[in-house]
């Protein structure tokens, strides 16, 4: 679950900087390319999930929707 935004490809480096994505450096986030379905059509997207080591020992949000999860707490 999430939001999809169209951005200029030149801004990917800016997003990587914001999320502290650096070659050869393991940080809080990783950059991933995925295909998602938007209005029934596949769309290539970049997203920044948290690294597994950053959430080790924390409960999984099984519904996959952090906003919905927070609303139930």
Query: Computed from CA positions of residues 25, 30, 34, 38, in that sequence, does the dihedral angle turn out positive or negative?
Result: negative
Q: What is the C-alpha to C-alpha distance for residues 66 and 43, in angstroms, rounded to an integer?
A: 22
pLDDT tens-digit map of 6-57: 999 999 999 999 999 998 888 899 999 999 999 999 999 999 999 988 889 9
Taking 80 as the threshold, does the pLDDT of residue 1 lie above it?
no
Domain boundaries, the chain: 9-71
Q: Which residue has the higher pLDDT, 64 or 21?
A: 21
């Amino acid at each position: 679950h999430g939001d999809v935004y169209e951005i200029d490809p030149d801004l990917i480096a800016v997003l990587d900087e914001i999320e502290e994505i650096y070659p050869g450096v393991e940080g809080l986030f990783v950059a991933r390319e995925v295909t998602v379905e938007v209005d029934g059509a596949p769309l290539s997207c970049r997203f920044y999930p948290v690294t597994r080591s950053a959430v080790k020992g924390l409960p999984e949000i099984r519904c996959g929707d952090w906003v919905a999860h927070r609303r139930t707490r």
